Structure 1
């Protein structure tokens, strides 16, 4: 029992402030649904939120997210084992996703040589056309799984990835575990220290 309390306390201490506003996570009254977590709640209120950073001993395995990319090719998160993966959930309809996209592409270019890969999960775009146009507009050079119904997101712990909070970003370590989670749009400056920290961990 005491060890569990210490683990939870350690996780709570590793919270980094990030100012976010998102496309989802609240209803028209501003109420956040069950399981939305503190980051989504803060986003709905329009206040400063947090990026949850998990100590290595507390990291859950990332679900085996797999599907077809926007070009119709098979794409699976497991194929990146041994790399640090920045998994970004986005939609072409989402204004904060548009603001975030160039920041993520800049992060990809800066950290790819260090074993970091970006993978997107495109949600709520019924067809791939708008999503492909989004990639072209923002010059994105990383693949995205097409998940029009958002079903893949349901496999993730809701406290770390709320399916209603778009955009959302997870950092997955080289062992395939969730190391950090951010609900809402981020900049390269906000995300790069988190990703670099995970990339510098011993394999």
Structure 2
């Protein structure tokens, strides 16, 4: 009876461990507010990933366009995500995002490796990633909400 109980207990403990691990969503990192961004928040959605810097004048002028795009496409499975080119973290990132009135999610960790984004030495740069996590287009220079929406419509087949 003792051996059987031990076997059952090992099985139960093993199942509990699996359930605990399965419930821990993979993190993309944290945003400009220090909140965790779980992978499941971005999976299955098209991503507009924009790299910006405070010293980049075109970056600063396109942020209102990206804010507008984020509001416009919120219900269409499209997420606008920002990444600070200079790698600002914590309070510095939060302060910079607030100073530029960024309304969309800004990741503290660069998602380039996850989405196989090529490094760009030019700013601003915007990457369009499909709902399967594949890079579909790289756009250099300042973008508009209308232009990005048109690119997305074309890539998505006019959905």
TM-score range, shorter chain: 0.5 to 0.7
**Aligned mates of 1:106, 1:168 — CA distance in 2:** 17
Q: Any unmatched runs of 5+ in structure 2?
A: 1-25
| Correspondences of 1:1-203 after superposition (within 5 Å) | 66-75=28-37, 79-147=41-109, 152-153=111-112, 161-200=118-157
**TM-score (norm. length: structure 1):** 0.55
- Tell me which structure has the larger Cα radius of gyration: 2
Cα displacement (A) at 1:76 = 5.1
From the two aligned structures, give the one with the greater helix fraction: 2
Q: Secondary structure at the match of 1:109?
A: helix
Partner of 2:8 in structure 1?
none
The 1-side partners of 2:55 and 2:113 are apart by 20
3-state SS of 2:121 partner = coil
CA distance, structure 1, for counterparts of residue 27 and residue 48 of structure 2: 13
- Of 123-132 and 90-99, more deviation after overlay is shown by 123-132
TM-score between both structures, scaled by the size of structure 2: 0.68
Name structure 1 gaps, 5 residues minimum: 1-63
Q: What SS does the corresponding residue of 1:161 show, helix, strand or coil? A: coil
Q: Deviations over 1:108-146 (max 9, x none)?
A: 111111111111112314444343233323432221112
* Contact 2:53–2:59 (Cα < 8 Å) also in 1: yes
Shift of 1:154: 6.1
- Name which of structure 1's ranges 72-81 and 95-104 shifts more when overlaid on structure 2: 72-81
Q: How many residues align?
A: 134
